Each structure stands twice: as structure tokens, then as C-alpha cells.
Amino acid sequence: MSAVRKACPTQVSLCISALDMCDPPALALFPRGNIFKSSQLRLPKNNQHKNCNLNIVHENLKMGSDGESDQASGTSSDEVQSPTGVCLRNRVHRRISMEDLNKRLSLPADIRIPDGYLEKLQLSSPPFDQPLSRRSRRASLSEIGFGKLETYIKLDKLGEGTYATVFKGRSKLTDNLVALKEIRLEHEEGAPCTAIREVSLLKDLKHANIVTLHDIVHTDKSLTLVFEYLDKDLKQYMDDCGNIMSMHNVKIFLFQILRGLSYCHKRKVLHRDLKPQNLLINERGELKLADFGLARAKSVPTKTYSNEVVTLWYRPPDVLLGSSEYSTQIDMWGVGCIFYEMAAGRPLFPGSTVEDELHLIFRLLGTPTEENWPGISSIEEFKSYNFPKYKPQPLINHAPRLDSEGIELLLAFLRYESKKRISADEAMKHSYFRQLGMRVHSMPESISIFTLKEVQLQKDPGYRNSSYPESGGWGTPPDASELHLVNH
């Protein structure tokens, strides 16, 4: 077995216990490979109830944290025995409907089940009046097609990284587009850890502004994560706008970033790799956080195992100087950099090395002192660079499209002392977002802010594509002031 498959046994165990929590739960997962042996399907040998159809009931929420257990009751459906002299009676049969099946297995409403599957279920299903075990759930979903590579049609290649290639695909189960993140398992180390970390986190993160993990497929050579498909990332969106976004749209996108991060941070999950390429956007304008491969990592690398340089542009100075005392504020610096990039049309700190990155930061915000960054003078890495004593520059000179409230919020993101950076929750309440109204603050976590009629995107002044979707609010004209900026 390669070193890569031995990389994270603890996280592998965590991931396997979490796999049933995907949306819908992925099953028949990791059928091969020694470290995944515990997740292989083991169907009940005793089929004494296979012809007994009972009424379906909802999950018993008292059975465990995930609502199910392999030992849901004192005697499972495979072990029920009749006391001497007592005769068990079958209950009145009721046909299992598609609605019943969807509720039972947490399936999407537009699922397409195989021909004859419901009929087969009527004859061979286990008793449905008992909580569904993980083993039975995996078996049922595997029959439908989850956890199988042939369920997904691979279409265009969307991108490639050190360990993974992302394809546009189509699900045969729903006929919907999906994103297939194919992670290669032949590398020496690292890939399974990031993949398993991403899976174990995403199974718990259910939010309108976080990408949805639909399924997981394991083969000898790859691990494929099946995500919802979104049309583009924020970097592509800005490129399509000619880097001139409507300031109203900047506000809506920034609010969605904060909304997703606030949800994560309340659950002690740090993203740690925020950048425009990891923020996905669909036609409606819904923005979702993606790529949680570095979340909760013990360190934030500046290079990958293949020596590929990781983007430094969105890393806070404390991390660049070697700090490993991470908190939720590590993400907030990156939010500030992305906020500026949307407003100004260019990266804020596009450094090529750690020293270059720090130099750009200090030249704009001023070289840090004990007054604005207590303890900075004792950091060896900082002393070794011997930076000039720069004075801070007015940010309004670099981001003239931001109003005073926007500049105030930007500065709150870019504080040197990490504990003084504004939190995601506090930032959402900032007066900069006043125009979005009050209802955006009381939306259920799983509901998009675009369900509110007052939240609509405007047509971006520099957009290069003349066609816009009719729905989702893309047709609102830009402000005259923004057109003035475009023409001059």
C-alpha cells in the first residue's frame, strides 16, 4: 500500500463515519483498499423478513447524532425472534410511494430511480417501521446508483491541480449538471488527507452559501467527490466583467461570503484558503464557498508537495510570518483582500514571494509597530527582513469606488492584530449593507438571499457577454455613477 493511503488513519475513520451525511448520503463508498475496509457493504444474511412489507415511518431522532445506527434497537430487524407460543402478524400492506422513498433515504426531489425499483422494494425490503441502519441505507442507495462511477457522465474538463482534476459532468439520477472532483490516489502523500478532511467537513455544513456534496465514488486509482455544479468562480466572473463590477453586486457577493463564513465560524470551522477561485457563482448570482481541503489543517503551506507555489495574495501577515495560532480571523483578512479586488478590479497584494507579499502589505498599510501589532518586534522572521519604515496610505486613493462606509469596513478586515479584525457576524451587521434591508439577517440558513425581492443583481457595467438570464435579477441597470467610471 502506498504511503498516501496511510496518510491520515484518524481522518479516514472520521470520514467513513460521516459519509452517510452527504446530501444525499453517499454509500457503497470505498469498496476497495485496506484502510477503507470498514466501509464495505455487508448485507444481512438472515432474510426471514424479506417478504414482510411494513409501514414506513420517519427516522427516530433519538437513535444517534446522525439519526441512525447499526443497532437501532435492542433487537435489529435481522434478529427479531418470536417467543414461544406467540405468533407475529404482518401489518396491513401499504404500497411504498416515491415520496416515501425520498423521505426515507433523504433523496433529492428530482431523483430518477431505476425501472422496477419500487416494485422490487415492495417484495424484498426490510421492515420499514424500524430506524434504518447505515448498512441498509448504503445497500438501498447503492441499488439506486449512488457511489458508482457509471452514474455520472464526464463532460468538459474545468481545471486541474496537484492532486485533483475537476470535470463538468451530468448525473444519470437527476439529469442535472454536477462537478466531479477526481482526486488521484497514486501520489506519495497528502491527497487523501485533504480529500477526507473536505468530506468530513462538508457532510456537516449545510448552508445556502456553501457548496453541496452530493456523492462520493471510490475506485482503485481515484476518489471522486460529486458536487453541485455552479457556472463559474468569482475570478472568472470578474474577468467577464472586465474587472468592473457593479458596486451593488460587490455588496451582494461580499454579504454572501460573510454569510457562509459566519455559519462555518460558529461551528469552529476555518476555511484557510479563501480566494476568488474558491468562491463559486451560479446564474442566479448565488455565491458558495468551496474547496475545504485546507480547512482545519495544522498548517497553511506556502508550497505543495510538488513545490507548486500556493497563492499568497490572500494570506494575513501573521501567517506569512510563521504564526500557527489560528483563529477565525485568518479568514477575515482574505475577505478584505477579495472585497478590495471586487471593488478595484485588481488584486490588493499580488506578491510573488513571502517577502514580496509582506513588502506590498507594509507599503500600503504602513510598517507594523508595537502600537498596532503588539509583539511584532520580537518576531524573528519580521526582524530578519529589515523592512523600511513605511507610513500608511489612504485606502480611498486605491479604491475610489468605495464609499466611506466601504473603506471603514475594508480597514476593519485588514487589521494587523488578528484578534482586532472584524468577525463575519459583525461585518454582516455593518452599515455598509444597510441597502440590502433587514430581512437578509433573518433568513434560514438553507435559503438563498435571492428569495427576497429586494435582493437583485444589477447588470455589471463592464460585462462582456450581452446575454443575461431573465430570472435572478440580472436585468437591473447599473448606477449612472458607475457608467461614468467606465467611460472615463
**How does pLDDT run across 189-205, given as a tens digit for each residue?**
545 676 777 777 777 88
Q: Say if residue 8 is in the same domain as residue 145.
A: yes
Q: Which of 379, 327, 315 is nearest to 353 (CA)?
A: 315
Q: Say if residue 389 is in the same domain as residue 309.
A: yes
**How does pLDDT run across 98-155, given as a tens digit for each residue?**
555 555 555 565 556 555 555 555 545 555 555 555 565 555 555 545 667 778 989 9
Where a domain ends, among 177, 194, 229? Answer: 229
Q: Say if residue 99 is in the same domain as residue 153.
A: yes
Q: Say if residue 141 is in the same domain as residue 260.
A: no
**How does pLDDT run across 439-456, given as a tens digit for each residue?**
999 999 999 999 999 999
Average pLDDT score over residue span 206-231: 88
SS3 content of the chain, % helix, strand, coil (to 5): 35, 10, 55
Q: Is residue 67 part of a domain?
A: no
Q: Is residue 284 part of a domain?
A: yes
Q: Is residue 61 part of a domain?
A: no
Q: Is residue 70 part of a domain?
A: no
Of residues 273, 318, 331, 460, which has the active-site annotation? 273
**Do residues 181 and 193 touch, judged by C-beta distance below 8 A?**
no
Q: Say if residue 452 is in the same domain as residue 471.
A: yes
Beta strand spans in 176-284 (E): 177-184, 213-218, 222-228, 232-233, 279-281
Predicted TM-score of the model (pTM): 0.69
Half-sphere exposure of 1 (CA within 13 A, CB side): 10
Q: Is residue 78 part of a domain?
A: no
Which residues constitute the domain of residue 205?
1-43+93-229
Specify burial of residue 63 (Cβ count, 10 A radius: 0-12, 13-18, 19+).
middle
| Cα separation, 364 vs 410, whole angstroms | 13
Where a domain ends, among 229, 250, 281? Answer: 229
Q: Say if residue 309 is in the same domain as residue 274.
A: yes
| Cα separation, 51 vs 98, whole angstroms | 20
How many domains, the chain? 2
Q: List CB contacts of 10: < 8 A, sequence separation 6 or more.
A: none
Confidence label for 52 from pLDDT (cuts 50, 70 and 90)? very low
Q: Which amino acids are annotated as binding site for ATP, given as ranges?
A: 181
Q: Is residue 265 part of a domain?
A: yes
The region of weakest confidence among 174-183, 237-246, 305-314 is 305-314
Q: Say if residue 252 is in the same domain as residue 348.
A: yes
Q: Say if residue 178 is in the same domain as residue 29.
A: yes
Q: Is residue 172 part of a domain?
A: yes
Q: Which amino acids are annotated as binding site, given as ranges?
A: 181
| Cα separation, 21 vs 180, whole angstroms | 18
Does the active-site annotation cover 331? no
**What is the CATH classification number for the domain harbouring 11?**
3.30.200.20
Q: Say if residue 107 is in the same domain as residue 160.
A: yes
pLDDT at 323 over 90: no
Q: Say if residue 367 is in the same domain as residue 348.
A: yes
Q: Say if residue 378 is in the same domain as residue 427.
A: yes
**What is the CATH classification number for the domain harbouring 303?**
1.10.510.10
Q: Is residue 246 part of a domain?
A: yes
Average pLDDT score over residue span 308-328: 83
Where a domain ends, among 198, 229, 260? Answer: 229
| Cα separation, 327 vs 422, whole angstroms | 12
Half-sphere exposure of 197 (CA within 13 A, CB side): 20
pLDDT at 380 over 60: yes
- Mean pLDDT (the chain, rounded): 73
The pLDDT value given to residue 111: 58
Q: List CB contacts of 386: < 8 A, sequence separation 6 or more.
A: none
Q: Say if residue 213 is in the same domain as residue 256.
A: no
